């Protein structure tokens, strides 16, 4: 996980550095890389990997939650960015003394790029988690079926 995070951070850092040196860059990709740098600096690599894998498992088990690929991408990015409050802002109203939390939004293009980076980087890990979960589910179903067959047999017939 640390190697994946390091590679992702290095790639994004080089793109942002090139932008700051004056090389023409896509603004959405700069925003996406900046957000990924924030994520990789504040969150543990395992947290990000587990969040991405968890979102894929959620999609596998209840696909109705995500009506489209873009919806899944948006929620994936939102959940990863919310790990340590990276995506949250706070505003304090001086007159009332109340503070209000709000979600920092990104452009659709930046969200798509972040989702693509995350899915590409953690796809192997997510695939292993999904395969492991399928095997565990099959084993559980097999045990339930064996128990049901065992109780359905007529003891007097034997």
Q: What pLDDT, in 10s, does the model give residues 70-80?
A: 999 999 999 99
Give the torsion sign (CA, 56, 60, 65, 66): positive
Q: b vs e for 42-61, b when ≥16 Cβ sit within 10 Å of the residue's Cβ?
A: ebebeebbbbbbebbbbbee
Tokens at 57, concatenated: 């498992």
Percentages helix, strand, coil for the chain, rounded to the nearest 5?
Answer: 70, 5, 20
CB 75 within 8 A of CB 56: no
Q: Whole-angstrom Cα distance, residue 41 to residue 38?
A: 5
Question: pTM for the full model?
Answer: 0.80
Percent of the chain with pLDDT over 70: 96
Q: b vs e for 80-110, b when ≥16 Cβ sit within 10 Å of the residue's Cβ?
A: bbebeeebeeeeeeeeeeeeeeeeeebeeeb
For 84-119, what is each residue's pLDDT tens digit?
A: 878 888 888 888 878 888 888 899 999 999 999 999
Q: Whole-angstrom Cα distance, residue 126 to residue 4?
A: 13
Beta-ladder partners of 102:
89
For 10-21, what is each residue's pLDDT tens digit?
A: 999 999 999 999
Q: Whole-angstrom Cα distance, residue 103 to residue 114?
A: 17
Q: What is the domain partition of the chain in residue ranges?
A: 1-91+112-153
């Amino acid at each position: 996980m640390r190697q994946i995070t390091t590679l992702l951070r290095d790639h994004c850092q080089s793109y942002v550095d090139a932008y700051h040196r004056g090389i023409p860059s896509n603004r959405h990709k700069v925003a996406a890389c900046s957000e990924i740098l924030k994520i990789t600096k504040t969150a543990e690599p395992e947290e990000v990997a587990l969040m991405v894998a968890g979102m894929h498992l959620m999609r596998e088990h209840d696909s109705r939650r995500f009506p489209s690929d873009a919806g899944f991408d948006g929620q994936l990015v939102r959940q990863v960015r919310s790990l340590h409050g990276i995506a949250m802002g706070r505003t304090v109203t001086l007159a009332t003394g109340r503070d209000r939390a709000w979600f920092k939004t990104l452009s659709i293009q930046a969200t798509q790029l972040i989702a693509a980076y995350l899915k590409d980087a953690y796809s192997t890990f997510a695939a292993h988690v999904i395969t492991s979960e399928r095997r565990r589910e099959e084993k559980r179903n097999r045990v339930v079926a064996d128990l049901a067959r065992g109780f359905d047999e007529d003891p007097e017939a034997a």
